Structure formats: structure tokens, C-alpha cells
């Protein structure tokens, strides 16, 4: 004899729970679906566990106790959301899966955090912040500053041009060359994955604030970066380390830290440029 456990379970549930017609397993007294789908209250399950075998024997017209017990076990598993006899359990979702709540929520959280960071800083700061205004390049200590000045000369930027910007915005020439080496190594066409561009790696919003209309123009880009450095030097009382940190991580972080923030990228940025100052000054002095 073949009996559908689902139909029999629904009938038995109506019998024991007094549910209205059509309220199948998983519906509460108000017809609402309970968490887990086809699951029942512990008291009702206990009652069914004791009553199902006898009820099945009567319903099946004197079926053997073993048959009744087997079917009772299957119906209990069905009602409790367990693995059906002889069938595979429903696959569990992984947190990082397509519909997994954990992975989806984590992704939204990361995107929201990145968006907040963008609004809070004016420059591309660190791996934790990704808040670009000026992009920190991958310069190395002891760069070729003579080669850098040669590149500038070929772009139509003279020693006098750099000196004029230094005086106009109150930024030492060695600092200008040091930041340029770290940001772009003198490449006027370089762009970063986050959108920074040019010699001083200006971001679009920062460039607009600085009055730079064309970031791809080496002279405009250079002046924008020097102007920003001058603003940071003024803001932090002439402290070059703090001004460099602000160029990299944003002035807000420097203010909150009361100095160079405890961010590895920013600390390396300041350390490398500061260590290159002497070489930068020597190259500037030798520039014809």
C-alpha cells in the first residue's frame, strides 16, 4: 500500500492541532509560516510521536506495528524538516554563496564603508581608506632625481618654473621633487586604478578644488599638486612630515592622530620622501 506522507501528515496535523482546512505543516495558528518551513511545536511533536503508530494502524486497517512505526518515523521527519527516509538532506547554503545572507551583507557593508571613506577624505589615503584626492605612487628611496629633472625639462618644465611654484605656494623645491618621484616618477600620463592622474597624481575632485582644468597637462598638474602641498604645510604649521602625511592620507586623519597616522602605507610614504630630500635638493641644485 502506498500513502503520501505529506497528505497523511496534513490530515493528522489538522486532527491534533485543530488547524483550519488548508493550514498545512509549517503554518501557525494564524496561518503564518514558521521559520524552517515544515516544522512543528515541541509539544505537538511529542504528542504525535506517541500517537502516530496507533493512529496509522487504525487508518491502514490493521497494518503491522513495524509498518506503522516506519511510516510514523517518516512522517515525523517530514513534519520536523528532517531528512526524508532514503532521500538526501537539502543542501546547506554557504555564507559566501549567491543567496547566502552573510556574504551579501558583508559585501554591502564593505561598499558602504568605502563610500563613507570617500566622502570624508580629500586625498587617496591608505588601503583601509581608498579615499583618493592625490594618489600615492610606488616610488622608492634613492630614486633617480637627475633623470626626473631631465624628464621635466623635456616636458617644457624648467628649473625656474619649479622655483617659481615653490615661492608662490611656500613649498621647498626638494619637497616638490620628492613627492613627484614618489607619486609618478615623472610620468605625466600615468593613471592609477582609483582615477588619480599625472605628475602629482591628482584626483578629479581635488583637481577641481585646486583650479586644475586639465590634469593631463603636466604644468597644470604640477601646480595643482604644489598648491595642495602648500595648503597642507600652512595647515600644519610648516611641519613637513605632517604635510606629507596629509597629502597621502588626508588632513583629517593627521589632525585626529596629532601627527603622522599609524598607517603603514602613510608612514612609509613620509619616510621615503623625507629620506630622499637631500638627493632631491642636490638634483635641483645641479639642474641647468
d(CA 65, CA 58): 11
- What pairs with residue 134 in β-bridges? 202
- What pairs with residue 202 in β-bridges? 134, 197
User: 240 an active-site residue?
Assistant: no
Which phi and psi (to 5°) does residue 27 adopt? -100, 140
Vertex 194 angle, CA 189 and 197, to 5°: 20
Joined grid coordinates for residue 132: 583618493
Q: Are 136 and 245 in contact (CB under 8 A)?
A: no
- What pairs with residue 33 in β-bridges? 27
d(CA 20, CA 96): 40
Residue 191 DSSP SS3: strand
Residue 197 DSSP SS3: strand
Which listed residue (173, 183, 223, 240) is catalytic?
A: 183
d(CA 203, CA 120): 14
Q: Which residue is it, cell 554563496?
A: 97
3's torsion region: left (phi>0), alpha (psi -120 to 50) or beta? beta
d(CA 211, CA 82): 67
Could you give the residue numbers annotated as active site?
183
Amino acid at each position: 500500500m502506498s500513502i503520501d506522507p505529506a497528505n497523511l501528515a496534513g490530515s493528522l496535523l489538522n486532527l491534533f492541532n485543530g488547524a483550519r482546512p488548508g493550514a498545512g505543516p509549517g503554518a501557525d495558528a494564524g496561518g503564518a509560516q514558521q521559520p524552517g518551513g515544515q516544522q512543528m511545536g515541541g509539544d505537538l511533536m511529542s504528542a504525535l510521536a506517541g500517537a502516530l503508530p496507533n493512529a496509522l494502524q487504525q487508518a491502514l486497517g490493521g497494518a503491522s506495528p513495524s509498518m506503522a512505526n516506519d511510516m510514523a518515523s517518516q512522517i515525523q521527519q517530514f513534519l520536523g524538516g528532517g531528512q526524508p527516509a532514503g532521500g538526501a538532506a537539502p543542501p546547506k547554503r554557504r555564507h559566501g554563496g549567491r543567496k547566502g545572507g552573510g556574504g551579501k551583507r558583508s559585501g554591502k557593508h564593505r561598499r558602504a564603508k568605502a563610500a563613507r571613506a570617500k566622502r570624508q577624505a580629500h586625498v587617496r589615503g591608505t588601503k583601509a581608506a581608498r579615499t583618493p584626492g592625490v594618489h600615492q605612487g610606488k616610488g622608492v628611496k634613492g630614486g633617480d632625481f637627475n633623470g626626473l629633472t631631465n624628464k621635466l625639462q623635456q616636458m617644457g618644465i624648467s628649473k625656474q618654473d619649479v622655483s617659481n611654484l615653490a615661492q608662490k605656494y611656500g613649498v621647498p623645491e626638494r619637497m616638490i621633487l620628492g613627492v613627484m618621484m614618489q607619486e609618478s616618477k615623472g610620468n605625466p600620463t600615468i593613471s592609477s586604478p582609483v582615477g588619480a592622474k599625472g605628475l602629482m597624481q591628482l584626483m578629479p575632485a581635488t583637481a577641481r578644488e585646486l583650479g586644475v582644468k586639465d590634469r593631463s597637462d603636466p604644468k597644470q598638474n604640477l601646480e595643482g599638486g604644489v598648491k595642495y602641498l602648500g595648503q597642507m604645510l600652512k595647515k600644519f604649521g610648516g611641519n613637513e612630515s605632517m604635510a606629507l602625511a596629509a597629502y597621502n592620507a588626508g588632513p583629517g586623519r593627521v589632525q585626529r592622530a596629532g601627527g603622522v597616522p599609524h598607517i603603514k602605507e602613510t608612514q612609509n610614504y613620509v619616510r621615503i620622501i623625507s629620506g630622499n630630500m637631500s638627493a632631491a635638493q642636490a638634483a635641483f641644485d645641479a639642474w641647468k
